[in-house]
Amino acid sequence: MTIQKPTTLAQKPMIGLMSGTSLDGIDAVLCAPDQPGMPLLASAHLEIPSRLRQELLALNQAGPDELRRSALASQQLARCYAEVVRTLLEAGGLAAADVAAIGCHGQTVRHQPADGYTLQLVDAALLTELTGITTVTNFRSRDVAAGGQGAPLVPAFHAAAFQHAALGRAVVNIGGFANITLLRAGQPTRGHDCGPGNALMDGWILQQLRERFDRDGLWARSGTVLPALLEQLLAHPFFMRRPPRSTGREDFNLAWLTSHATVAQARPEDVQRTLLELTACAIALDVHTARPRVDEIYLCGGGAANRLLVERLRELLSPLPVLGTSTLGMDEQWVEAIAFAWLAAQCLQGLPGNLPEVTGARGPRVLGAIYPA
Q: From CA 227, how far away is CA 303, in angstroms rounded?
A: 22
Higher-confidence residue: 61 or 3? 61
Domains and CATH numbers, the chain: 9-150+334-371 (3.30.420.40), 155-320 (3.30.420.40)
In this prediction, residue 63 carries a pLDDT of 94
**In the structure, what pLDDT confidence band is assigned to residue 5 with cuts at 50, 70 and 90?**
very low
Q: What is the pLDDT of residues 280-315, one digit of tens each?
A: 999 999 999 998 789 999 999 999 999 999 999 999
Angle between helices 335-348 and 155-162 (to 10 degrees): 100
d(CA 298, CA 358): 18
Residue 3 pLDDT greater than 70, yes or no: no
Q: What pLDDT is stored for residue 2 in this prediction?
A: 36
Per-residue DSSP letter, 146: T
For residues 327, 175, 149, 113, the Cα torsion angle rounded to the nearest 10 degrees is -170
pLDDT surpassing 80 at residue 373: yes
Contact 335, 94 (CB under 8 A): no
Q: Which of 319, 321, 311, 357 is nearest to 169 (CA)?
A: 321
Residue 4 has pLDDT above 80, yes or no: no
360 pLDDT higher than 60 = yes
Average pLDDT of the chain, as a whole number? 94
> If you average pLDDT over residues 319-343, what whole number do you get?
97
Q: Which residues pair with 370 in a beta bridge?
A: 136
Q: Which helix (H) or strand (E) holds 179?
A: strand 177-183
Helix 268-288 with 227-234: angle, nearest 10 deg: 50
> Which residue from 128, 111, 117, 101 is spatially nearest to 59, judged by alpha carbons?
111
219-263, pLDDT tens digit by residue? 999 999 999 999 999 999 999 999 999 999 999 999 999 999 999
**What pLDDT does 261 receive?**
95
DSSP 113: G
pLDDT tens-digit readout, 158-217 = 999 999 999 999 999 999 999 999 999 999 999 999 999 999 999 999 999 999 999 999
Work out the number of other CB atoms within 10 angstroms of the CB of residue 323: 16
> How much is the pLDDT for 10?
54
pLDDT of 370 over the 70 cut: yes
Higher pLDDT, 197 or 2: 197
pLDDT of 329 reads 94
**Residue 326 to residue 262: CA distance in whole angstroms:** 39
H helices present in the chain, as ranges: 50-58, 66-92, 124-131, 140-145, 155-162, 199-209, 218-221, 227-234, 254-258, 261-265, 268-288, 307-317, 335-348, 356-359
Give the model confidence (pLDDT) of 12-42 as tens digits: 999 999 998 778 899 999 998 777 767 899 9
Q: What is the pTM of this model?
A: 0.94
More confident of the two residues 266 and 92: 266
pLDDT confidence bin for 142, thresholds 50/70/90: very high
pLDDT computed for residue 1 by the predictor: 33
- How many CA atoms within 13 Å lie on the side-chain side of 323? 13
* Number of Cβ within a 10 Å radius of residue 284: 20
CA distance 11 to 5: 9
What does the pLDDT look like over 55-64, one tens digit per residue? 999 999 999 9
Please state at what angle helix 268-288 crosses helix 199-209, rounded to 10 degrees: 180
Percent share of the chain, pLDDT over 90: 92
Around Cβ 335, how many Cβ atoms within 10 Å? Answer: 30
Contact indicator for 134, 169 with CB cutoff of 8 Å: no
Residue 328 has pLDDT above 80, yes or no: yes
User: Is residue 7's pLDDT more than 50?
Assistant: no
